[in-house]
Amino acid sequence: MSLEIFSTNRLNAFLSIRLRQLYRKSSTGFAKVELKSKLYGLTFNIIVRMIAGKRYYGDDLEDSAEAAEFWELVSMAFEYAGSWNPADYVPVLGWIDYKGFEKNLAKYHKRIDGLFQGLIDERRRDKNKNTMIDHLLSLQES
């Protein structure tokens, strides 16, 4: 799959799209460009487009509300991945849900499941694209 995505022909086909923003900023003169955010956005969009066939980062998005929710859920995932639950070390705290950790995690799971279910339902309706979700759905059917 990476050979298909990063082939020379594929990258050259999208050259104008990738360079359009940089050109707009520097067409009137020299401009300072912060590459860290550009590379992060490019990497993020490549991963999400392979999985769901959508873009969730950048200026010209189809559904900015869905993109904002996706970004919020991704940042929450990193937040929960880096946190620790005191109830894991002192089981008594789990009975009282110390600091509401389990309750907040359940709310997060409900939101992320809703987003993923929406992506799956959308892919079931529109089977024209070639994404990972499409491949997984075809494996489920077979």
Position 108 confidence tier, pLDDT thresholds 50, 70, 90: very high
Q: Which two tokens stand for residue 127?
A: 């089977």
| 136 assigned to some structural domain | yes
| 89 assigned to some structural domain | yes
Give pLDDT, residue 10. 57
| 15 assigned to some structural domain | no
Lowest mean pLDDT among 13-17, 77-81, 91-95, 107-111: 13-17
Give pLDDT, residue 27. 67
What value does the mean pLDDT take over residues 49-76?
A: 79
| 50 assigned to some structural domain | no
Give pLDDT, residue 1. 45
| 117 assigned to some structural domain | yes
Count of all residues that appear for the chain in the document = 142
Q: How many distinct structural domains can be found in the chain?
A: 1
Q: Which domain holds residue 72?
A: 62-141
CB atoms within 10 A of CB 52: 22
Residue 110 scores a pLDDT above 90: yes
Output the CA–CA distances (angstroms, integers) from residue 86 to 2, 78, 83, in the order listed. Answer: 41, 18, 10
| 70 assigned to some structural domain | yes
| 21 assigned to some structural domain | no
**Average per-residue pLDDT in the chain?**
78
Residue 22 scores a pLDDT above 80: no
Give pLDDT, residue 49. 81
| 47 assigned to some structural domain | no
What's the pTM value of the predicted model, to 2 decimals?
0.65
What value does the mean pLDDT take over residues 123-139?
A: 81
